[in-house]
């Protein structure tokens, strides 16, 4: 070995020796400024409210502001792209849902982000319960009656959704597949216009998420037939589960969200965020705020997050491909 190569190795070793302590110190000093939390939905909705509740709790723990930045559009792709291309320094957080991480890779031929390699999971945050509903004056009083009619009168019963590829749409497609029913899908651009038309009686049925529909369910302006969760919901104790109503053993579906950061975020910083998110979720006041708007706190760190993604992909990706659902 030459003196030159020895010198080069010594220089490299010295550089690593100085870099590693610097990185450790950087993680200890983090955060030194405000954090940006990207939300791929408009302000005022359930996703935005969730980020603001948890952001306020995080802010009080880490001693820095957490500023929500709304980047709605393109089925969460605009927000996901902005998060994926941000500096991996721990100062950009992103609310990633099953649309971003499970559905979109199957719905789109190409994406401006890679769901597997562009994000580092931090922790799960919340579950949005989904309820099968019909318009107020509907003649249907049970889920079974609705689906039997949609089987007998294939394609003649309309249902609305917030859009093609939304959890609401895909859940109805899954129910249709498993029961043999066939509805006519009426997609909208978002939950609000779809809900407005359901309230107006312009179509028969809709899968509604609790944060969007709780007020109308309580007032009776929308009629619930079944909930898509594994168990009945305490706010809707008389509403059966899909498993009970349609005899579909093991059926459950929901919209869910977790926090991710750019993939190359340093492990020490990511671990700090995981720990602080978990502590924020353990705060009773935070959990009560989430439940008050129809959200169920969903806990779990990076490992649980990855397990959920894989389990969901095993269900939804084959459905999307079999039904030929595409968004580009």
**Cα 237 to Cα 279: distance, rounded to the nearest angstrom:** 30
What tens digit of pLDDT does each residue of 89-119 get? 999 999 999 999 999 999 999 999 999 999 9
Domain total in the chain: 2
Alpha-carbon separation of residue 95 from 98, 118, 256 (angstroms): 10, 14, 10
Beta bridge partners of 209: 130
Specify whether 86 is located in the same domain as 182: no
Instruction: Choose the final residue of a domain: 246, 278, 300.
Output: 246
E strands in 171-244 = 184-187, 205-209, 222-227
Tokens linked to 155: 């394609």
Q: What is the pTM of this model?
A: 0.88
Specify whether 306 is located in the same domain as 238: no
Structural domain contains residue 12? no
Specify whether 208 is located in the same domain as 135: yes
Specify whether 222 is located in the same domain as 263: no
Structural domain contains residue 207? yes
Specify whether 122 is located in the same domain as 261: yes
Specify whether 135 is located in the same domain as 105: no
Specify whether 98 is located in the same domain as 185: no
Specify whether 42 is located in the same domain as 69: yes
Specify whether 89 is located in the same domain as 134: no
Low-confidence ranges of the chain (pLDDT < 70): 1-28
Instruction: Choose the final residue of a domain: 221, 246, 271.
Output: 246
Structural domain contains residue 14? no
Instruction: Choose the final residue of a domain: 193, 222, 246.
Output: 246
**Cα 267 to Cα 274: distance, rounded to the nearest angstrom:** 10
Specify whether 32 is located in the same domain as 121: yes
Under 8 Å between Cβ of 270 and 60:
no
| The pLDDT value given to residue 273 | 98
Specify whether 147 is located in the same domain as 89: no
**Cα 25 to Cα 266: distance, rounded to the nearest angstrom:** 12
Structural domain contains residue 7? no
CATH number at residue 152: 3.40.190.10
Q: Residue 184: give the domain boundaries.
A: 129-246
| The pLDDT value given to residue 24 | 52
CATH number at residue 281: 3.40.190.150
Under 8 Å between Cβ of 210 and 118:
no
Specify whether 35 is located in the same domain as 111: yes
């Amino acid at each position: 070995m030459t003196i030159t190569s020895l010198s080069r190795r010594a220089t490299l070793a010295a550089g690593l020796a100085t870099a590693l302590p610097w990185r450790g110190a950087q993680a200890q000093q983090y955060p030194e400024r405000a954090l940006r939390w990207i939300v791929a939905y408009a302000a005022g909705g359930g996703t935005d409210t969730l980020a603001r509740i948890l952001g306020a709790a995080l802010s009080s723990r880490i001693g820095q502001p957490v500023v929500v930045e709304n980047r709605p559009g393109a089925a969460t792709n605009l927000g996901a792209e902005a998060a994926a291309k941000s500096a991996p320094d721990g100062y950009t957080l992103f609310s990633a849902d099953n649309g971003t991480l499970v559905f979109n890779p199957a719905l789109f031929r190409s994406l401006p982000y890679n769901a597997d390699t562009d994000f580092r999971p931090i922790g799960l945050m919340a579950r949005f319960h989904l309820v099968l509903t019909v318009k107020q004056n509907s003649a249907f009083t049970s889920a079974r009656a609705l689906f039997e009619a949609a089987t007998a009168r294939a394609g003649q019963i309309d249902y609305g959704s917030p859009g093609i590829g939304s959890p609401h749409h895909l859940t109805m497609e899954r129910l249709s597949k498993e029961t043999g029913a066939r509805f006519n899908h009426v997609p909208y651009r978002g939950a609000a216009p779809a809900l407005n038309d359901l309230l107006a009686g312009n179509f028969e049925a809709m899968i509604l998420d609790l944060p969007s529909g709780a007020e109308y369910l309580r007032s009776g302006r929308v009629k619930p037939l079944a909930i898509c969760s594994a168990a009945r919901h305490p706010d809707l104790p008389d509403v059966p589960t899909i498993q009970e109503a349609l005899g579909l053993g093991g059926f459950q579906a929901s919209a869910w969200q977790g926090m991710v950061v750019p993939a190359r975020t340093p492990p020490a910083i990511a671990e700090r965020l995981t720990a602080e998110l978990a502590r924020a979720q353990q705060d009773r006041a935070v959990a009560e705020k989430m439940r008050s708007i129809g959200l169920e706190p969903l806990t779990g760190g990076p490992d649980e997050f990855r397990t959920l993604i894989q389990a969901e992909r095993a269900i939804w990706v084959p459905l999307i491909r079999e039904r030929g659902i595409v968004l580009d």
